[in-house]
A and B are shown apart, each in its own frame.
Chain A
């Protein structure tokens, strides 16, 4: 696991850690069932407070991305990457719904919406 934090970011440090962990689970850099560094080792490596790493890990655990085993530390949940995918898909769904709503106000027809989407995808791929 590789984390780099910035002191000048708008995001608090614990949130930066969470984000980078989730990213690495998604890309597979953090494999399922892989052990995460201990709270204190992480705090020491990043030169931050133990409470900060504790908060990051606790929230990741609550959100279901990692799990802790008594005496053994924290592990990536086997469903971790799927969970993240699901979360991100929900995000896309939300944005698409917003777009549909916005289109409805003009109004745009279904076909117009779909061709606009196809156009944008083409542009994106280039």
Chain B
């Protein structure tokens, strides 16, 4: 029985004009979970809530079974974080960054940090503000890896990076979870990154949780239906999300169990992008 690395139960947070609504999901130890949704859907808010950078209005967040607020310090010893922008002082060098971060960790692995710096070819004495975007991300990653973190939380770490760096990044991630003890929560809207390596997916749309489960289940839960204009019956239209009508025909997303009745139309496998785009456009009365 795999342990639960991260568990959210009914987590809600209200702002002016936006509400994150009863988000619940579980990330088992040793796997990669992708957190997907369009911009503004609530992914970053969810991550901030996990890190107690924001106060939740409702719900419970457990990291390795411990409450994320009551045991904040103990929990954060085990978490490594990478954001889409660097959060170190511009005038620090790579060496300075290590000195600063290691203040906070009992279990700082200087050798691991050195290895990573060498592996990523990060110049030790250059000011981190002058590093390229890709190198800044690698620096954050090196710091996240160097205190035996069992949970890696990544908030859009590859946005703005070229495909080569993104590919390198994915390989590093797969290496990270190789021992089965470490887990990754990966929030991104570059879904092609996830399509290959993610084991689980949680899909949030406009503050609501649409789906959580294995990648396979997600893909199998939907179909992309395509047909000629005359095939679009009112009943079908009710069940479609993200309907797109043209002179040629129509296409949209339907639930897989609804799809069986529409065998006369084309039923394609939906990619994660299809699912996100169509669900964001809306249409299905849930």
Contacts and interface: CB of A to CB of B under 8 A. Distances in A.
Given A40-B180, A44-B175, A49 B198 contact: yes
Given A50-B31, A51-B199, 8 more contacts: A40-B178, A40-B180, A44-B174, A44-B175, A44-B178, A47-B197, A50-B32, A51-B200
A52 to B, nearest CB: 7
Nearest to A55: B216
Contacts of A48: 196-197
A31 interface: no
B198 A41 contact: no
B175 A49 contact: no
B174 A51 contact: no
11 contacts: A41-B178, A43-B174, A44-B178, A47-B170, A47-B196, A48-B196, A49-B32, A49-B199, A49-B215, A51-B31, A51-B200
Contacts of A55: 216
B177 interface: yes
Interface of A: 40-41, 43-44, 47-52, 55
A50 B30 contact: yes
B214 A51 contact: yes
Nearest to B219: A12
Interface residues of B, number: 19
Contacts of A51: 31, 199-200, 214-216
A51 B34 CA distance: 13
Contacts of B179: 40
A87 B30 CA distance: 35
Contacts of B198: 49
A55 B214 CA distance: 12
A40 B177 contact: yes
A5 to B, nearest CB: 11
Nearest to B31: A50
